[in-house]
Amino acid sequence: MTKSITAHKVTKGIPYHLWQNAMRMSITQYKANVKKVNSPDMSKRNWLIFKLRKEGRTLKEIGEIVGLSKERVRVLEILCCRSLLKNIKKLQERKPKNGRIRQQK
C-alpha cells in the first residue's frame, strides 16, 4: 500500500513563505501549460481545494462547495501536492541571495 499524500503532510515543517512561493510557481506553471493546450484555467479552483484541505475540511464538504465528487477533489489535491513538492525542492536547491546562510537540517 502506498502512502497517501495530503496538504497537511506536504506543508508540515516547511516555512510558510516557502510553500507559498512554491504555490505561486505552481499556479504560474499551470497557467502556462493550459495556454499551450487551449483549455480552461482551473488553477484557482485547484488551489482553493488545496487550501480548504489544509484547513481541515473533508473531501465531501469541498466537493459540495466546488461542485465535484469527493474522488475528483482527492485527485486534484494530490495533483496540487505533487506540484508543490516539486517546486519546494527547486526553491530549497537555489543558492541563497545577499549572503544569507540557509539553515541545514
Q: pLDDT (tens digit, 9 = 90+) per residue, 68-92?
A: 999 999 898 888 888 888 888 888 8
| Residue 63 counted as domain residue | yes
All residues at 6 or more sequence positions from 3 whose CB lies less than 8 Å from its CB, including other chains: none
Structural contact between residues 18 and 91, judged by C-beta atoms closer than 8 angstroms: yes
Mean pLDDT of the chain: 81
Give the range of the structural domain holding residue 18, as residue numbers without chain letter.
Answer: 7-93
| Residue 99 counted as domain residue | no
Which grid coordinates belong to 40? 480552461
| Residue 87 counted as domain residue | yes
In the prediction, which pLDDT does 84 show?
Answer: 86
Checking if the pLDDT of 65 tops 80, the result is yes
| Residue 68 counted as domain residue | yes
Single-letter residue type at 77: E
